Structure 1
Amino acid sequence: MKKALTKMLSALTTGICLFVVSVFDFNGSQFTANAADYEKRGQTGDYSYYVWNQSGFGTVEFENTENNGFIGSWNDIDNVTLQKGISFPRDTVSASQINKYQIDYDVDITTDGIAYVGVKGFFHNPTVEFHIVESWGEWEPPGTEFSDAKVGSTIIDGTKYNLYRYMKIVQIHDSTYPEYWSVAERDPLEIGNSNHIEGTIDVAAHFQAWTASELDLGYLNEIMFNVDGYKSSGSVKLNSMDTRANIESEEVFDYFRSIVPYEEHASLPVDENGKFINVDFESGTDKFGTIGEVSIAEITKANSFSGSQSLNVPESGDTPVALFYELDPYDLPKTESTPPYYQVRARLFNNAEHDVSFNIDLVEYSEISSARKVKRLGTRLCSPGKWTNIKDIVFDFDHDVYRKYRIVFTPTEPVDYCLDDFCMSLGKSDYLFNIRHFDPDIQGDLNDDGVIDSLDISVCRRAIINSMGVKKIETSGDVNGDFMSNVSDLVILTKYVLGASSEMPLSDNGEILYIGDCSLTDEKNIRKFSVSGSYFNDDSFKTVLCKDYTFTSEWRETEYFKCYDVIDFSEGFEKKNAKECDISYSADLRCSGDIDVDIYGLLKNGYRTLDFRIYESWSREYTIIEHNIMMDDTEKSSIITVNGTEYDMYISDVSSTYKLVYLYRRDNPINGREYSHIENSFNLEELLKHWLEIEDSCDTVSHIGLNISADKSSGYADFDELSFFG
């Protein structure tokens, strides 16, 4: 088992230059050099620093600063190096043990000539000097004379780096050793002006790129943030630097010795709809296959969404069969967004007699290693015996030329299924992954055939039947844009098809559909709405939120569901008195398991706090046990009536300034039922007389909200009324 070193090793290594004469004043970490050739090393905290000025020409100044930074300058020098970073004890850490090594930096630099900024270090066994150059001035290292020494290129964090290897001659020792370079393709520094540079240098990624280019790496001497100047004057301020590292006890990236999997080429053209890949299986394609030694996917004429063919994946044994599309990243055109977003869309036909969920993933892998990186892009439920439109599957990624990529569709159980009309298109620059707005351009065309007719009425009817009882949110029959399929949609569509109406009105409630977890805040940063418990972009969770904050949340076969809607006044200047807090709600609930619905909040007055929770419906085991324990404490519990509704009440004086109150609605509408309707209205002032003495009054609202929790269940919470302040 791999064991990561828990502390970054910091120790001085043997100096590289052996002929040094140092004649300068040194006081703490600030010093000035102005005489013969010298070098100076030191330690501050976990970081080593190093200054070198060849032949002592000109002057060099250096001072360590806060945030692991330094200030330096050079004037009329021949060659100067200013560094700060980590040194390693000899023969303790090899490059292949570096699982993660990232340097975050923020620097300002000015030069009138040649200078460059990045990382510099040394290996031994074999001896190698290495450079990662982020920016340079008048001259781009390692120089045009070494153009034949280029061994390749790589893209790291969206930036292309050219890779070089050549032999360095050290005249004073009459010896040679190799130098490795990664040089970023960026605009050069502006000569004579201050240049601000910040970012992250992924040192481990450069080690991997060099290894993949068949360059040998050894044990680490040091990894230093580096500024080099040559026959120039200039100044630098490293404002901050931070090193994040994970060093394993064994080799972790030998598998990066691989052939670059994709040949660089121009991106594919984009059509008027933003598509650049469109596969309808009317002809074969070699980029699709199933996971395994031999692909079992075959073209079939037995089923298709458009055209006459689709791709069939037969059920095979007890293990679900995953279907993949081999993604050549060079096919992807550039987008206006940063990072670049792309969308995947397909039609899936589920040949089972029941619903089956499919996970859609972006898989990054290497053919010579089992190591994989899987990014879940979404999860979609496919109904039996019909084509399901798998859309809005959005992804972004950094193109690593040493890895391969697949878009993978995996059923959650063994099933025979078909795929048709696979396409990829550009994402929108302002796209939010799990948010859906109704598209009026497709209003009424429920079967996607480009025509609104009686066939769409049939689709609407089936959708209504499909949604009756067990769920509320159903988009396949939605005509008016509320993300529901109900009789109102059928009436609107029928009138339009029969010519009794020339338009199909849209809902004016501003509904937005959220798929999977979501977390939202209003413009004032006061009202916050959140749903959690599923994977991101997983349609086992759906929420329709209206502009008035009424909402419908729906969950399917989940271990845990959590939804809250809270108004938070604690951070703002706006204050509300409890007398202004008129709570009113009306909701339909369905839950196949246990569920709690409660109103909760905090009231303040100076240092005094009252924390309350009002259970309007409750069936979770923990809540029942908690209620029974509280009610057994007769000194702190009682029964009260609020607006005609009886509650069990428990009050605890946690401290002299903190009071905790629980209310449990005695008729408990959800108790023992899968379906229920709950509604109530009251003013907080009605409750204060039961909770507080006049002299202890806490009447300023800090928080007020609604909380829903459900365990191991399917269901929905449909709030058609929800108000906290009238």
Structure 2
Amino acid sequence: MIFKSSKQLMAGTIAAALCVTAVSLNFTSNLSSYATSNQNEQFYIDGYHYEFYNMSNIGECSFEPDNQGGFDAEWSGIMECQFDKGIYGSELPNDPESVIINYDLEFSPLTDNEEVTDGSSRVGIYGWLVPKSARYNIEYAVIDYQCNFDTENYANILELQNIGSYELDGMTYDLYNKKADANGFSFDASVEKYFSFRRDSNIGSGASVNLKSSIDLTRHMEEWQKLGMEKSNIYSAMLDVRAWMSSGSAKLNSCDINITEREREAFTEDGCFYVTEPAKNGGDYEMKPLGEGGFEAKWDSYSSVTFRKGRSFAEAPVNYSDEDCIIADYDMEFDTSKYGSDGMIDIGVHGWLDIKEGSDWKDEFNIILGRKNYYFPSNYKDFQNNENVIELGTLEDNGRKFRLYRSIPLHNYNASGVAEAPPHARYTYWSVAEDCVVDKVSAPKLSGKINIRKHLEKFMEQASALERVSRVYEVSLNLFTMGGEGSAKVNDFDIHLGSDKDEGGKVTFYNSGNATEKNSSMDPNGVGGFSCNWSEGEYKSFSKKLETEGEIDMAEFSVDYDADVNAKSASDTEWSLCSTCKSTQSNLEYYVFEGYGTSSVKMNSNGTEVTNIDAYSFLKDHAIIKKNSAIINGERYDLFYLRYKVGEGGLGGYDIYRCLSIKQNAGQAMGEKCHLNGSIDWAKHIMAWDSAGFPITAVDSCEVFFETNSPGGDFSLNICNFNLASNEVSVKGDLNSDRVVDNFDVIACRKALLNSENCPYDTEAGDMNGNGKIDVGDLILLTRFVLGVSKA
């Protein structure tokens, strides 16, 4: 809303029209008069507005900003005139912590002359407020000094009522008020007034004084609220010099408006930003972190605010087509029991897609998870002139069905006539969950996963070649609320990129065999693993693969895994969980089988597995070259060196050689859910094969895969970490880095204490108590551990 600066005791609203002109122009930082009509002028200099008004152009006035934060003003024989410096509109933040006006003014009022005996003048703060309800406007003034000013007479003319007094900084103020007339039709009827007059502020007629003052406008507003004013936001704050039927001069040496914003507006935690974006009329709201990625939000019924948590990729936009997953986890709950029928909530994943580096224009997307009394764009056909919205089809994601749309957004302009801050949306894409409406639930809960990459791919399928974009600029969880009192707890919201895991090589997720989009699905979980399901029999495989540019150092390489298997059983049904290492330069491959269905292995009469090549049905097409067994990390494995023939012979055929480790007694009952976890130490398997006389080669890729011919089921690789040597972290207590924590580390810790500046040992490993340095406490803890008194 744009306010008109209504002047007191005006016969007309000339200055109001000037104010509208002021906010519609492009301002520059240089001194420039942008509206001149008789003696009505306004300037914009270094972020401040300067205004001069002489009612009916009676008498003589002069007004000159000095381009250094002040102005010179003179008046003689006037009816009414005023001289202002201040800020308004979007230059003032919503609901600031404080707004303090400091000024230094040389004031020389002359009110008595032969023709006029009731002249007066005053100095104070003047402006407009926006009530939370927005049912009317509030005109306010804090009168700091006055000369020959009759407060009671002034109050009678404006129909003001004295509603009480208050004290601030040792000074007493009398507050006068005029209520807005809800049934009135004039402009003034929709305005409420709050004028605060400081006692003992008189200046003698003809005096010349230097006035220095500091007025905390927000503290005055708090006192007004105690005396009945509705809580409001500040629309404008101006230093105001005003005179009636008199002569005089004013020289403003300085005037600064110091604004302190509330710390709640934004904070950063764990690489994510947390911000609130209130509308100008926003009410009370609060956002605070809960730790571990969550936050709490509260708002009142006058609020119109968006709470956001997200990650910015502005410095290096992410190409989503290069990522195997862009996943958002969410878990949140709400209390909307005090919401009325018109209160609105909109919860979703929001983001920006970068069109061109450095461009203010971007594509925008919204994946709507929950809503209350808000339906755009699904109801766009109910509105006229909304042909800019088109439907894009449907999408299923993690058990929820979404309807897709695209719209061309309409851009707004702020109070100064300037377009909204970038980024600007070129197109806005929408995914709206069909079950997102929570209107009938007073305490809804939402939790799950969103495969953002899947939505982006679907959006771009509908875009023409020239409209497609692929770089993600920002992703956030957006909670928008308006018109109802409530609260929310976002227990968790995390954004996972495939490239976040397993640094040191390229990681991909893929399926093979007879797995298709029709009979199966596969979704990375964002934390290094994936989930999949299938609905038909024939062989299919689901894999996570690591590829490196150089050879993998097998002496320092291991794979951690945690998995759940739920495979339906039928005749000849098999499944197995395996890790394999290969090289693009060799036909020798390595396999370690960690789990399999019992139908994949023959059993002895005593219930134990037959430990030969004929025991494992998934090896039936291989020829045995050598076999052996070994105990690796406490588990017994059958070792095989095999040859597998590819093709039918002749020109197209060739041989592949494979070294296998199959964990004994790892069979799982078919048709029953099972859980598998462990760690594969590749160095020890290589040593076991080498000791058995199997060939050894270098590798540059590793996979963890699940394969089956089950007629249906699901599999989840909850955790899958490829631990390269470069990713190893210090072992607590291992100061000499020999991979053993013993008495030699105690000796190293003592040396580190004696010479901390030139310590040759791993001080990070020696920091046992986690205080960031080596001290006596670390030595005590390490000694106790080595002696077996305590655990590391």
- Relative to the length of structure 1, the TM-score reads 0.34
Please tell me whether Structure 1 or Structure 2 has the larger radius of gyration of its CA atoms: 2
